[in-house]
Amino acid sequence: MQMKGYPDRIQACTTTHFDGVVAIIEPETSWVARWQRVSKYARGMYAARVKGRIPDDVEAELESRGIKYRPRDQTDLD
């Protein structure tokens, strides 16, 4: 998301308001990673649910790059 060196963008795209944390060690084989839809991401710590969304311009940029944004604030219940 090209945030390195852009503290304003980091601030706009991250939050300290979240519920639950999962540690993903082997994302390719983890059922939790599939359930959280992070099985194609890097290993690490992920919030189970967050409060807030990324800015519309960032969402549009992701879409233009072929990346589907899936919010973690329970507004995307598919």
CATH architecture of 7-65: 2-Layer Sandwich (3.30)
The CA distances from residue 27 to 13, 63, 66, in Å, are: 23, 23, 21
**Per-residue pLDDT, 77:** 54
Task: Find the mean pLDDT for residues 4-23.
Answer: 89
List the structure tokens of 21: 């944390």
Q: What is the pTM of this model?
A: 0.62
**Per-residue pLDDT, 78:** 45
